[in-house]
Amino acid sequence: MDYLIYIVLLFEFAAAISATVYYKKYKSTPLKWMLPLLWYIAINEFACHILLAPCRFEILYNFYEVIVCLGLLIITRLHLSHHIRIAIANVLIVISAIAFTITAITQDPFKDWPVFSFTLSTILIIIALTLYLVEQLRSNKIVRYTRDIFLWVSIGFLIFHISYPVIMFSRYFLVTDSVFLYEAIFLIQFIAVIACYGTIAFGFYRGVHSATLIRRIL
């Protein structure tokens, strides 16, 4: 099963490389902050699974969860323009930050993994991304939505964040010694991750320059 890790890393790097290659398309939008985030995700995974393996540095994973969750929430919030939705997104960011802070205080960040704050943040990310979809539906601009990079990125992260809590809870709460079960769940997680980063990588390729995203009628 180890080779699956390499495939996951391949997809994560593919997403980061795709974001770098097509940077011109979105450099003037808040999506530019996605580039360092994607590189961070890929490098962190590479460091944890290849460079530092077999030791498990829980603090690296914990930092990773905080940065990715808050990063995604902030990037999504930057894509919103309606004041009410912005206010809701701000509240989501604050809730997520508080949850991570409480976990950092109550748990040992060097040993424990922030199950509840991460699950909560995952739900908050889903809500934030839904706000973005609502904003797109309510806008009175003719958007070429199939060419919207952030929409593809949103769908990618939605695939991951919808399936990940189930995977995580099944790991943490269904205590069993079965290797088969863990491997099967890992396989599901693997599929979710490659679907997520595959969609993101494709989104950067498929998306168009932000200036041409809104259709103009001549």
Partner 1 sequence: MLLIQNQDNGTLFIVLVAITILLLLLVVVVVLFSVFMKRKNTLLLEQEHTKKKFEKEIAETQIEIREETLRNISWELHDNIGQLLTLAKIQTQNCGGSQQDLDEAAATIGKGLTEIRALSKLINPEALKNMSLPEALNLELERFNRMAYLKPSLKITGTPITIDKKIETIIFRILQEFFTNTIKHSKATNLDVNLLYKSDTLHVTVKDNGVGFDYHQARAKNGIGLTNIETRTKLIGATVDYKSNVGEGTTLSLTYKPQPL
Whose Cβ is closer to partner 1: residue 88's or residue 188's?
Answer: 188
Whose Cβ is closer to partner 1: residue 42's or residue 201's?
Answer: 201
Alpha helix (H) ranges present in 2-57? 2-21, 23-26, 34-46
Q: How far is the CB of 138 from partner 1 (least distance, A)?
A: 9
- Over the range 129-165, which residues count as b (16 or more CB within 10 Å of their CB) and which as e? bebbeebbeeeeeeeeeebbbbbbbbbbbbbbbebbb
Q: How far is the CB of 199 from partner 1 (least distance, A)?
A: 11
Footprint of partner 1 on this chain (CB under 8 A)?
133, 136-137, 140-143, 145-146, 155, 158-159, 162-163, 166-167, 170, 174, 176, 178, 180-181, 184-185, 188, 192, 215, 217
Q: How far is the CB of 43 from partner 1 (least distance, A)?
A: 28
Q: How far is the CB of 135 from partner 1 (least distance, A)?
A: 12
Whose Cβ is closer to partner 1: residue 50's or residue 184's?
Answer: 184
Most distant CA atoms of the chain, gap in Å: 65
- Taking the CA atoms of residue 167, residue 169, residue 171 and residue 175 in that order, the dihedral angle to the nearest 10 degrees is -150
| Count of Cβ atoms closer than 10 Å to residue 172 Cβ | 11
Whose Cβ is closer to partner 1: residue 115's or residue 185's?
Answer: 185
